Amino acid sequence: MRIIYCGDIVARPGREVVLENLSRLRNDYKADVVMLNVENAAHGFGVTQGICRDFLEKGADILVTGNHFLNQKEIISFLNECKVIVRPANIPNTNPGRGFAVYELPDGRKILVIQVLGRLFMEAVDCPVQAVEDILRNYTLGKNISAIFVDIHAEASSEKLSLGYYLDGRVSCVAGTHTHVPTADARVLPKGTAYITDVGMCGNYDSILGFEPTAPIQRLCRNYLGDRLIPAAGKGTIYAILVETDDATGLAKSIEQIKI
């Protein structure tokens, strides 16, 4: 299975560059599944139902969120309605939506997608390891599921790496998101799980994490929040990964970083 995952889509530049290139990503890379992190797609914070529908209509198969998944209140009903949008699994079950999704390809192969939030330097959440374990009780890679993809939306690289090695050999890929900075450590771990600490963002890189520099610089210099963050305008860049798995085992054969 060939899986493409686009990192955090930030505001209009991110939306536009992804929408313009979805067909290209699928065709040029012969992707079986195209997944997007839509965590910051609506003006930098959260996502709307309309934006989700635009991505799905243009060819995205699975949408993944993150810690801002409820910032746009209109998304609440869609989280319950849409079976291919994934919110964090390690939060109370009273929240709308699902912490994992199973997507079936036309040929019958299935991919399980899970997302968890990190706990270091983040708001308090339940244990990410336990959340993944609870889901994996029902799925065994290479037996009743063709591929398993885990997104860890977290600040700390050590936490992402720890989860990658913990799940090595049991899932197809562990990919980090949230920090918006692509890392150079894409690799297949010793037991066959593809890994990267952060996929990066889809947005305007002439910015600070997709936002105009003024407010973040004020926060740095004054040590308090200051002005609100404003998404940067301008041309967007896609950062994504391509993971190829072995259909017999579900383990990763390769992982490649994509930049458009």
**Residue 127 CB: number of other CB atoms within 10 A?**
12
Q: Burial-class residue 246 by CB neighbours within 10 Å (0-12, 13-18, 19+).
A: middle
d(CA 162, CA 167): 9
Rounded Cα gap, residues 259 and 256, in angstroms: 10
Packing angle, helices 11-28 and 49-57, rounded to 10: 20
Neighbour-count burial of 154, counting CB atoms closer than 10 A to its CB (0-12 exposed, 13-18 middle, 19+ buried): buried
Please say if 68 is a catalytic residue: yes
Residue 189 has which token pair? 């771990």
Beta-carbon neighbour count of residue 248 at 10 Å? 8
Check: CB of residue 66 under 8 Å from CB of residue 101: no
In the chain, % helix, strand, coil (3-state, to 5) comes to: 25, 30, 45
For 124, the token pair is: 């308090």
Query: What length is written for the chain?
Result: 260
Other CB atoms within 10 Å distance of the CB of residue 256: 13
- Per the listing, tokens 């990763």 go with 252
Active-site residue among 68, 153, 178, 180? 68
**Catalytic site residues?**
68
